[in-house]
Amino acid sequence: MPAITDTPPANIQQELAELRNTLNAAIPAKRLEQNLLIATWNVRGFGNITRKWVSDMSDSPRRDLHATRCIAEIIGHFDVIALQEVKDNIRGLRDVMHVLGPDWGLILTDVNRGAAGNGERMAYLFDTRRVQLSGLACELVVPGEQLNSIAPDALQRQFARTPYAVGFRSAGATFVLVTLHVLFGDSAKQRMPELKAIARWMSDWAKEVSDYEQNLLALGDFNIEQRGDVLAQTFFSEGLHIPPALEQVTRSIFDETKFYDHIAWFDGSNGQPKLTMQFLQGGNFDFVGKVLKDRDLSKQQLSFMISDHYPLWAEFSLTEG
């Protein structure tokens, strides 16, 4: 049985080399103590994999060694990346870590056991040559008084998938990432309480962490479907901000109008502290047509092999001025 670290077949080696070149052209280079590349990616049902280089229709799961090597190649171009939909079985995640090598670190939550949590974990992968843990790691819990609120749009329970906050350091800059995967539910109305609660919680926390010269960023799958809709307005009502460079890029491989994923921070308006790291540029990585190219897969099939979401990334300057 082949292993993820074995030498792939020649055609897969060639595709991985081409993918690496494409990523090098699309994603900024890592510059020592100069920049920071933060990303978020909902990797669809990222759990077990089939131990074949090329799976067939009878295999379950369809995600195989080829697809997993492609996922690892994409992840390796960032400094720190938040992953959503990591499942109870972390075989695929462990294989990615084997490919990335000993310079990469991992921190993740336990599984959300409730039915609404869909057996998911939150995870961060980070290049330890560029990013180190600062010591903070916590799940966000809503204060009881908010749960007891009688407001019609108040959160009446804890999050279905608890947001996960981890602190990092890079070249003297300290930052806290908060990753979330908002419950999709049966309607947009069901998403509003979670979005409002996390925005309010982050607004309060941002004022506290600023005392310690830390930066606070939210990233993940917010399940906001339309640009500027009531869900987007709800989340950004507390002062969270995304720049135009990140606002317009496509998130979904199926529908370019969907606005699910975000990287957001406070820009100094609404009485909030301003991010000390300077945003330089950002975007997605459109992997369709660049991975598993000779497999003749539909987009639906590709979504289970790689994902139905594009990774979203942002580059920040670590130098003053």
What tens digit of pLDDT does each residue of 3-54 get? 999 999 999 999 999 999 999 999 999 998 999 999 999 999 999 999 999 9
**pLDDT tens digits along 132-142:** 999 988 877 66
Residue 218 has phi, psi (to 5 degrees) of -105, 135
d(CA 119, CA 110): 9
Q: Is the pLDDT of residue 304 over 90?
A: yes
Q: What is the CATH number of domain 10-28+36-317?
A: 3.60.10.10
Give the domain ranges of the chain. Answer: 10-28+36-317
Could you tell me the pTM of the whole model? 0.90
Q: Lowest-pLDDT range, 83-92, 223-232, 237-246?
A: 223-232
Helix (H, G, I), strand (E, B) or coil at 181: strand
Q: What is the pLDDT of residue 153?
A: 46
d(CA 136, CA 126): 15
Q: What is the pLDDT of residue 186?
A: 56
Q: Is the pLDDT of residue 151 over 50?
A: no
Cis peptide, bond prior to residue 61, ω within 30 of zero:
yes
Q: What is the pLDDT of residue 275?
A: 85
**pLDDT tens digits along 270-294:** 677 788 899 999 999 999 999 999 9
Q: Higher pLDDT residue, 139 or 159?
A: 139
What is the overall mean pLDDT for the chain?
Answer: 86
Torsion of CA 121, 126, 131, 135, to 10 degrees: 30
**pLDDT tens digits along 70-123:** 999 999 999 999 999 999 999 999 999 999 999 999 999 877 655 444 678 899
Please state whether 270 falls in left (phi above 0), alpha (psi between -120 and 50) or beta: left
Q: Compute CA distances 200 → 27, 156, 166, 197, 227, whole Å.
A: 32, 15, 18, 5, 20
Confidence tier at 154 by pLDDT (50, 70, 90) = very low
